Chain A
Amino acid sequence: MALTRRSFLKILAAGTAVMAGPPAGNRLLRRLRLRPAGGGLPALAASREPAGPIVRLFGLPAGDGDPTLAYAAEPNTRTGPGEAGRRWVMVIDLARCDGCRECTRACTAMHFVPSGQEWIRVYEMRDHATGNAYWLPRPCMQCDNPPCVKVCPVSASWKREDGIVMQDTSRCIGCRFCIAACPYQARGFNWVQPPESEEQRRQPYDMEWNTRHFKGTTEKCIFCPGLVKEGRLPACVSACPMGALYFGDQAEDAVTNSQGETVRFSQLVQENAGYRFLEELGTEPRVYYLPPRKPLYPPPPSEQEPAALGGGHR
């Protein structure tokens, strides 16, 4: 297995066993025909116990005194401050991504994402003329300096203490300033009322599950806090057949992929020259990419020229 070139630290966290989530989550998982966590599917490494000392990475302050928390405009009575002591983080290994878009499909199925939107979109990229083409899955970056949260006039979008940029579509007024502000094109809009299934309509609006959709509001990826709360990986991460997506807790310094590989987050990023997309914009994303070095997959088809960063100009 090519992955042996990386040094992995398998954490058999105690939390792996603590998997019995509330029935709502299980119902969704069954509907998605995903194996219930604990029954073989790798679960989030993060333990449900209070976190230990918070690990500081790349000078990024965590926990108390974190300036990014200033964006938590309200005490987050709507979903709480998030998981106490957590700093959710995602790592995407571009060398492993083969562009199958299972992540997009799983996300769309889980949240009934309205047509036209893809909360995790897989782009075909080539950074410059002589560079290799590669696939770039783009979820919401859950920025620590989120441009979308800054411009929202009504706190429909805010930053939780566990790092998630939440979106309350029941408060959104549909001004679309956040869509204009997001440099990652990670936000979508319900231009018309999305058709809802009977199953959807039965569910109350719960912004942590985000299965209901309303006309004239903005939506985006929110790292599946409903699943995460139950100790499961976000839908896209557990759906990735290549194990290219890792999810975990930066505070605990552990991330897990769909193959059940749980590794030290800091080591994974440092040893593979991890980077953050559009780092120069200062948005401080919580999604890290590992460069597409020696890819394990066929790149995007060459007849369709992948667009370069910066707007697809030639």
Chain B
Amino acid sequence: MPRRPDPFSPRERVLLASLTTAGPGFSALVGALLAVIAWGIIAYTVQLRYGLGVTGLRDNFMWGVYITNFVFFIGVSHVGALMSAILRITGAEWRRPITRMAEAITFASLLMGALMPFVDMGRPDRILNLLLHGRLQSPVLWDILSIGTYLTGSTLFLYVPMIPDIALLRDRFAAGPAWRRRLYTVLAVGWKGTEAQRHHLERIMGVMAVLIIPIAVSVHTVVSWIFGMTLRAGWNSTIFGPYFVSGALFSGAAAVVTAMAAFRWAYHLEDYITEVHFRRMGYLVIALGMIYAYFTFAEYLTPAYKMAASERGYLNAVFSGQFARLFWFTQVGGVLLPVLLLTVPRVGWVPRLTRVPVLRPVPTLATIATSLLVLLLLPAVLPRTAAFGGFALIRQLPAWIIAALGAWLFLTLLPLFHQRPIAAAVVASLLVNVGAWLKRFVIIVPTLQYPFLPIQRAPAGWAIYRPTWVEWSITAGALAGFVLVYLLFSKVFPIVSIWETREEGHRPAPASSAVGTHGEAADAPVL
């Protein structure tokens, strides 16, 4: 194959450098991820050998962390359809450098999400029964069909727009390692960049962008229906389908923001992923957060207003009882705070907060240190109670102190976030995803805690759900697997589309913040 003249501009060479160069940081990260995955596999073999009894799951809590992971990962996977389909159809040109990132998130998280029901299965050895005796009446089969379709569709949707880039790499790595050459040659499917090929590519992408949207919507709707199709109070909800879809888009968009910051920092993509991208993604996350908050409000207000006997148990537990802290964290920390954080860089009065004496770093840190000390001592002083029990002031004192400290810390940090919009976006998106995971947990477990028949005569430890190390290890392994798949993808394929950013006549957008142009202070993710 004749060596072509280097078709890459210096900026584009940055994209390719990340494919070949790997520093010690990369090896360390891959090693750490592999270690976590190996630990997760060990935990799974323990579960295989002794049965699901090694988890915290029991008859009343038949589903737990694994199904939480399932809903979470499938939710995050929605971002691919959002970014590449909706933004592509609506002609949002700024999407170009980040669509592939989003589609790769879809791929990696779908893999992990689809794995979870099999981890949760009591008899994985009978997996073939799903094919031999599958019943289409069961939502489980709907899940298999729609997730399978979405995985196929989104893999194609990731792959097809990548063909021109793969062809470039095929030529570029003509003298490279054999596996790369072979891989790129096969995957480039003879792309030469002719007019006809381009025409076909555009057409395929256009059709697929339309098709992938209903598939993506169906996937999370069906996932919600494994709850919505039961009679259980708390799951027996008609809006679960759209509610889950809105939550999925919210968490997925936030995951893309995290990925954008990580790749920008690790692969030096400042020219491609600018503050403009963070700002626009921030707007998207805010809008999706509002929709999600609206659905949450609608989902909880209707039963809470009526307080039907069957709903009362889990509602009280969620609003003011056993699950209140988790629930309110998901609402305040997982929706409200992130939305505020994303708006902070655009709010003019925030820098003036530094003039408030109690918000200066020194008094704040001093107070926080003292309060933490008090918090550590409090449990020894306070009477022990069986349940966490409501919002009774004394019992909940530690929680209130933590909330107040958090608010204080937040106000102190606001001016910093004002200067560093990317840092603000990253913190916000991480909060969104932590909140999203916990919210799925809060959807699943409280309902199981309050079935129609009270939990009675349960053996010791069966009346409450406490996930065990096995569940946490497998969860950590899945998360590490997600990161590893994503990382390796970015090492084999350019994470920013070369031909699409070139086609756009991509020019670096002007830095939006007043602080420096590309000063490291403004760009480096601060965490």
Binding site for B on A (CB under 8 A): 73, 115-118, 121-124, 138, 147, 150-156, 171-177, 179-181, 183-185, 187-193, 214-218, 278, 281, 283, 307-313
Contacts and interface: CB of A to CB of B under 8 A. Distances in A.
B117 A175 contact: yes
B226 to A, nearest CB: 7
B456 A124 contact: yes
Interface string B342-354: 0000000000000
B122 A176 contact: yes
Given A155-B135, A183-B231, A189 B140 contact: no
B450 interface: yes
B135 A185 contact: no
A216 B123 contact: yes
Given A177-B140, A184-B453, A310 B312 contact: yes
A153 B138 contact: yes
B138 A313 contact: no
A188 B457 CA distance: 13
Given A193-B51, A217-B122, A310-B309, A153 B135 contact: yes
If over half of A's interface residues share one DSSP class (helix, strand or loop), that class is named, otherwise mixed; here it is loop
A122 B457 CA distance: 9
B130 A153 contact: yes
Contact of A180 (B62, B127, B130, B453): B62
A24 to B, nearest CB: 27
| Interchain residue pairs A-B with the least CB separation, the first 8 | A174-B122, A216-B122, A311-B313, A307-B454, A311-B450, A312-B454, A191-B53, A153-B140
B388 to A, nearest CB: 15
Interface in B229-266: 229-233
B452 A152 contact: no
Contacts of B140: 151, 153, 175, 177
A89 B459 CA distance: 30
A155 to B, nearest CB: 5
A312 B450 contact: yes
A215 B51 contact: yes
Given A171-B129, A174-B121, A216-B51, 8 more contacts: A147-B231, A154-B126, A189-B52, A192-B52, A216-B122, A311-B312, A311-B450, A313-B313
8 contacts: A123-B454, A152-B138, A153-B141, A183-B451, A185-B451, A189-B58, A193-B51, A283-B231
Given A147-B230, A179-B59, A192-B51, A311 B141 contact: no
Interface size bracket, B side = 35 or more
B310 interface: yes
A166 to B, nearest CB: 14
Contact of A311 (B126, B129, B132, B314): B314
Contacts of B123: 172-174, 214-217
A190 B58 CA distance: 9
B121 A216 contact: yes
A155 B62 contact: no
Contacts of A172: 122-123, 126
Given A171-B126, A184-B453, A188-B59, A155 B133 contact: yes
B63 A180 contact: yes
A214 B126 CA distance: 12
B221 to A, nearest CB: 16
Interface string B489-524: 000000000000000000000000000000000000
A118 B457 contact: yes
A190 B51 contact: yes
A151 B231 CA distance: 12
Contact of A154 (B130, B452, B454): B130
A184 B456 contact: no
Contacts of B233: 310-311
Interface string B431-465: 00000000000000000111111111101001000
B345 to A, nearest CB: 44
Given A181-B231, A185-B59, A175 B451 contact: no
Nearest to B321: A313
A155 B459 CA distance: 30
Contacts of A175: 117, 120-122, 140
A73 B135 contact: yes
A236 to B, nearest CB: 15
Contacts of A190: 51, 122
B84 to A, nearest CB: 31
Contacts of A193: 51
Contact of B452 (A171, A215, A310): A310
Nearest to B122: A174
Contacts of A313: 312-313, 316, 450
B51 A191 contact: yes
A102 B60 CA distance: 23
Given A176-B122, A309-B452, A171 B133 contact: yes
B132 to A, nearest CB: 8
A203 B24 CA distance: 61
- Name which of A150, A177, A190, A216 has the most chain B CB atoms within 10 A of its CB: A216
Contacts of B63: 176, 180
